[in-house]
Homo-oligomer: A and B are copies of this chain.
Amino acid sequence: MSQHPLRTQIEDIVKLSDAEFDFVLGHFQENNFKKHQIVLHQGDYAHFDFFVIKGLMRVSRVDPDGKEHILQFGMENWWITDAEAFHHQTKSTLTVDCLEPTKTLSLTLENKEKLSKELPKMQTFFFKKTTNGFIALQKRILCFLSSNANDRYHNLLSLYPGLMQRVPKAMIASYLGVTRETLSRLTKVES
């Protein structure tokens, strides 16, 4: 029988009783967003960290030249927000929107901190998730340092199979830091 996806993720790190999980869940609110809906506008405060139950979101920024850069995708079981705006309670420099109809569990910073205090296991959970996120970003940077566009593309393929079926190639290019024309040429050579 299948468990709640959030519980599964938490119990990968710390064990919870049924009552504890219900308690945890009480700190979240559920949201349903439409495709293309902007969940966090640049310039607004980031009220929530979103845990994606179903759907697909992204965090992006448009630079002064009008070019869009995708910092992160968020599929099922991913956490997604503008980390800086959320944790520092400052105005967002990034945009979060939905590439598909999306259902989330949404957590305010206040509730995150409350939860961490009330249930120390949850602080451990959040800490490990953040540490793992840090490690993942370091790997992505190493990828930028040591790989060309082609290797980065294949790395992304192997890291998130299934992503290609869900997002347009132009967005993959934007995540990789190349133009869609360059990405198109790369995939062409495969033959």
Contact = CB atoms under 8 A, between A and B. Distances in A.
Interface in A55-71: 61, 63, 67, 69-71
B130 A87 contact: no
Interface in A159-191: 174, 177
A61 B146 contact: yes
Given A141-B144, A145-B177, A177-B145, A131 B69 contact: no
A119 interface: no
Contacts of A13: none
A14 to B, nearest CB: 13
Interface string A3-28: 00000000000000000000000000
A174 B141 CA distance: 12
A127 B130 CA distance: 8
A-B pairs, 7 with minimum CB distance: A137-B137, A69-B145, A145-B177, A63-B146, A144-B144, A84-B135, A134-B134
Interface in A102-159: 120, 123, 126-127, 130-131, 133-135, 137-142, 144-146
Interface string A70-110: 11000000000001100100000000000000000000000
23 contacts: A61-B142, A63-B146, A69-B142, A70-B145, A83-B131, A83-B134, A83-B135, A84-B135, A84-B138, A84-B139, A120-B120, A126-B127, A130-B131, A134-B134, A134-B137, A137-B137, A137-B141, A140-B141, A141-B141, A141-B144, A144-B144, A145-B174, A145-B177
Interface of A: 61, 63, 67, 69-71, 83-84, 87, 120, 123, 126-127, 130-131, 133-135, 137-142, 144-146, 174, 177
